[in-house]
Amino acid sequence: MVYHKYHAYLYALALRYLKDTHLAEDTVQHVFVKLWETAKNIEIEINLKNYLYTMTKNYILNQIRNNKETISINYANAQKEIRDEDDLVDSIEENELAELLKSGIERLPSQKKEICSLKMEGNISNQEIADKMGISINTVKSHYQEAIKMLRIYFQKINIMLF
Q: Which fold, 93-162?
A: Arc Repressor Mutant, subunit A (1.10.10)
Sign of CA dihedral 126, 130, 132, 133: positive
Cβ atoms of 19 and 77 within 8 Å: the answer is yes
Query: CATH 1.10.10.10 residue ranges in the chain?
Result: 93-162
Residue-level pLDDT at 29: 92
Query: CATH 1.10.1740.10 residue ranges in the chain?
Result: 2-66
Tell if the pTM clears 0.75, that is, is over it: no
Cβ atoms of 71 and 63 within 8 Å: the answer is yes
- CATH 1.10.1740.10 assigned to domain 2-66? The reply is yes
Residue-level pLDDT at 45: 62
Residue-level pLDDT at 162: 47
HEC letters along the chain: CHHHHHHHHHHHHHHHHHCCHHHHHHHHHHHHHHHHHHHHHCCCCCCHHHHHHHHHHHHHHHHHHHCHHHHHHHHHHHHHHHHHHHHHHHHHHHHHHHHHHHHHHHCCCHHHHHHHHHHHHHCCCHHHHHHHHCCCHHHHHHHHHHHHHHHHHHHHHHHHHHC
Residue-level pLDDT at 72: 63
Give the mean pLDDT per block of 10 residues along the chain (163 residues).
86 82 88 85 72 86 73 65 58 74 87 86 83 91 91 78 46
Residue-level pLDDT at 139: 92
Among 110, 96, 127, residue whose Cα is nearest residue 119: 127
Residue-level pLDDT at 163: 39
